[in-house]
Structure 1
Amino acid sequence: MKLNLHAIRLPLRDPFTISRGTIIHQDSLVVALEHDGITGFGEVTANDYYGHTISAMSEALDGLSADDLAMCFEATPENNWHRLSERLAGDMFSLSALDMASHDWHARNSGATLWHHWGLTWNPELQSSFTIGIDSVQEMRRKLDADSGWDLYKIKLGTDHDLEIIHQLRQCTEATFRVDANCAWSAQQTIDYSKELRHLGVQFIEQPLPRSADPADKQRVFEESSLPIIADEDCQTEADLETCFQFFHGINVKLCKCGGLTPARKMLTEAKHREKLTMVGCMVESAVGISGAAQLAPLLDFADLDGANLIADSPTRGVEVQCGRLHMPASLGTGAELVPTALPQFLIQ
């Protein structure tokens, strides 16, 4: 029974900018949970915005007792989640990686892919978007041209010329756009922009207002926007669902924020029950994290699982997203793997 932690630094293909800042690499923690000759993998990335560092998450996971680890194998991830949440003092980021690894281990142990282990039916029609980060219009056009062939693009916005960006990018492709303002707009901006964006082939707007915005503004946007509004920063854990159902047309669930696959499944199932749009997103992360999140495809209306496509190189393999299509490896669990020979050059010393 082992818990191995691999802190890795992933180089990006291009600098990646959203309304809050720019990164040129992504630090990530890959969790390997091993027992009876079977290894389950999970991943979580460092995140300055939410205050999670590789060192702090490593320390939290290293602090688990032998009994805590034993329960990862003796109990189902669903039955063990609250216990682990208490042991990790509510650290959803660390918990998400361990929960993913536990689900992966149990599915491999049962001889099935994870989605099949859950009793779900695969959705072959689901496609992921490809993200174009904020940059000069010329550079954003170059990035779009460099990854042509996708049917869906998520365009990061939050500049003083957002509509111009969409007008310019629309000249490059007939693909469907989704826009993500990452909390950068006001209520009036959102309502005004939504009308023009709809005519420019935009499918929905993700998180236009800050999480801290006045509820009256959120209600107004919900009622008056010409496009569906999808919650991201507002949708962190199960506790946020009722607020999201009131002010948004759908939710974007991120595993690291909610605490892993266990709560993510519950959140998505409840959203579908409430007739809300469902989506799973990702951070810039390796194939380990993407492979875990991809298991939720049967529950989704939308997917944003291009995180590994934004990376130049990685010591991992698993689910591949090619021009939006999810290609599952012929292996058990989530399909994620570490490549031992490649790992040393990515390790954070």
Structure 2
Amino acid sequence: MEILLKKYVLKLKHAFGISRESYDYQDTLIISLSLNGKTGYGEATANSYYNITVEKMQQEITSVKKDIEKYHFTTPEDFHKWLTTKKLSNFSICALDLAANDLFGKLKNKPLYKIWDTTLDKYPVTNYTIGIASVEKMVEKMAEKPWPLYKIKLGTDNDIKIVQELRKHSDAIFRVDANCAWTAQQTIDNSKLLKELGVEFIEQPLKANDLKGYEKVKKESHLPIIADESCIVEEDVQKCAGSFDGINIKLTKCGGLTPALRMIKKAKKLGLKVMVGCMTESTVGISAIAQLLPQLDYVDMDGAMLLESDIATGVIIRENGKVVFPDIAGSGITLRV
């Protein structure tokens, strides 16, 4: 296979604020894998919380570039298994795995969701994320993007007041994500008020390793609790079963579509709701997530919608939440620049 790596700096429409940071630009790595006249694309964004930079990913992948070029590609599953022996971060493996899956679908001339024996008869609508900012700015973002479902980032001293104010301006369903900023008792107390304000669920309110806190919250919360930072890799799914109502799978954190498919099956067997989330990826990463839609209860794939300009074409998300899939096979990605 031929492999190419390229760094992009994605400019956001607005500063994106969560409980621990705020940023205006997102660094991302795009990988292309080419074989027999077809090219697959993959993506992984940098992430300071997990100490991942594009430069680090480039160094890791470059160190095994010759091995990848010699690799006899047959299936994404075999390729992913081989990659896990190369001491790469899951972010690097994700970019390679997404490219391999896109390539595989293009070689087979089928979109991935069809290869996985699923249909688009029914799938969840993505939320649109409102990052932490002044209440006035958050209201302005909602007015700029009318949407049936918002994820509200929280983790301030005035979280309930923020949601109360936003509710005055929209009848949409709300989800809230505290990104580890609350205590167990805060979560329980907030859950009652948030339920009255039309919130659907709370995502990752406590620190990732506070499983005892989550056990208490699960028993006493008025809303379902979804794991994010507490569910990174496949082994975490079982750990979340007694402490959460569902999990949010991030492709970059778990290592791509291949392990995500296994996590989905395992979560469903354990009775957990399944969500897949994004990390402010371009349409390259979002189109990969979209292939999983028929298997999901919830989805957060608004990353490309938050960008000032995109670097690829692929799936298109319409104003009513409907997803338009391209005629191209695989994940349906074409790189623009």
TM bucket by the smaller chain?
Answer: over 0.9
Change (3 A) 1:103 1:153: same
**C-alpha contact 2:73 2:79 (8 A) present in aligned 1:** no
The residue type equivalent to 1:188 in the other structure is Q
Distance (Å, rounded) in 1 between the aligned partners of 2:76 and 2:9:
28
Q: How far is the alpha carbon of 1:66 from its aligned partner? A: 3.5
Aligned twin of 2:63: 63
Aligned twin of 1:138: 136
Q: SS of the residue aligned with 1:86?
A: coil
Q: SS of the residue aligned with 1:179?
A: strand
**C-alpha contact 1:128 1:326 (8 A) present in aligned 2:** no
Q: How far is the alpha carbon of 1:69 from its aligned partner? A: 3.7
Of 141, 152, 156, the residue aligned with 1:155 is 152
Matched, 1:166 2:163: yes
Distance (Å, rounded) in 1 between the aligned partners of 2:205 and 2:125:
23
Distance (Å, rounded) in 2 between the aligned partners of 1:162 and 1:264:
32
Of 293, 296, 311, the residue aligned with 1:297 is 293
Aligned twin of 1:268: 264
Q: How far is the alpha carbon of 1:80 from its aligned partner? A: 2.4
**C-alpha contact 2:60 2:88 (8 A) present in aligned 1:** no
Aligned twin of 1:74: 73
Change (3 A) 1:123 1:182: farther
Of 163, 185, 198, the residue aligned with 1:201 is 198
Q: TM-score, normalised by structure 2?
A: 0.97
Percent identity reads: 44
Aligned twin of 1:226: 222
Q: SS of the residue aligned with 1:74?
A: coil
Of 185, 189, 211, the residue aligned with 2:182 is 185
The residue type equivalent to 1:162 in the other structure is D
Aligned twin of 1:327: 324
Distance (Å, rounded) in 2 between the aligned partners of 1:166 and 1:24:
23
Distance (Å, rounded) in 2 between the aligned partners of 1:299 and 1:23:
31
Q: How far is the alpha carbon of 1:74 from its aligned partner? A: 2.4
Of 111, 114, 138, the residue aligned with 2:112 is 114
Distance (Å, rounded) in 1 between the aligned partners of 2:224 and 2:115:
33
Distance (Å, rounded) in 1 between the aligned partners of 2:249 and 2:69:
26
Task: Kindly report the root-mean-square deviation, in angstroms, between the aligned alpha carbons of the 2 structures.
Answer: 1.2
Give the total of aligned pairs. Answer: 336
Which residues of structure 1 form unaligned runs of 5+? 344-349
Distance (Å, rounded) in 2 between the aligned partners of 1:90 and 1:58:
11
My pick for the range that moved more, 178-187 or 216-225, is: 216-225
Q: Deviations over 1:151-199 (max 9, x none)?
A: 1100000000000011111111111000000000000000000001111
Q: SS of the residue aligned with 1:189?
A: helix
Which residues of structure 2 form unaligned runs of 5+? none
The residue type equivalent to 2:251 in the other structure is L
Q: How far is the alpha carbon of 1:30 from its aligned partner? A: 0.5
Distance (Å, rounded) in 2 between the aligned partners of 1:70 and 1:325:
41
Q: TM-score, normalised by structure 1?
A: 0.94
Q: How far is the alpha carbon of 1:68 from its aligned partner? A: 3.2
Aligned twin of 2:9: 9
Of 100, 123, 141, the residue aligned with 1:102 is 100
Q: How far is the alpha carbon of 1:8 from its aligned partner? A: 0.4
Q: SS of the residue aligned with 2:94?
A: helix
Q: SS of the residue aligned with 2:139?
A: helix
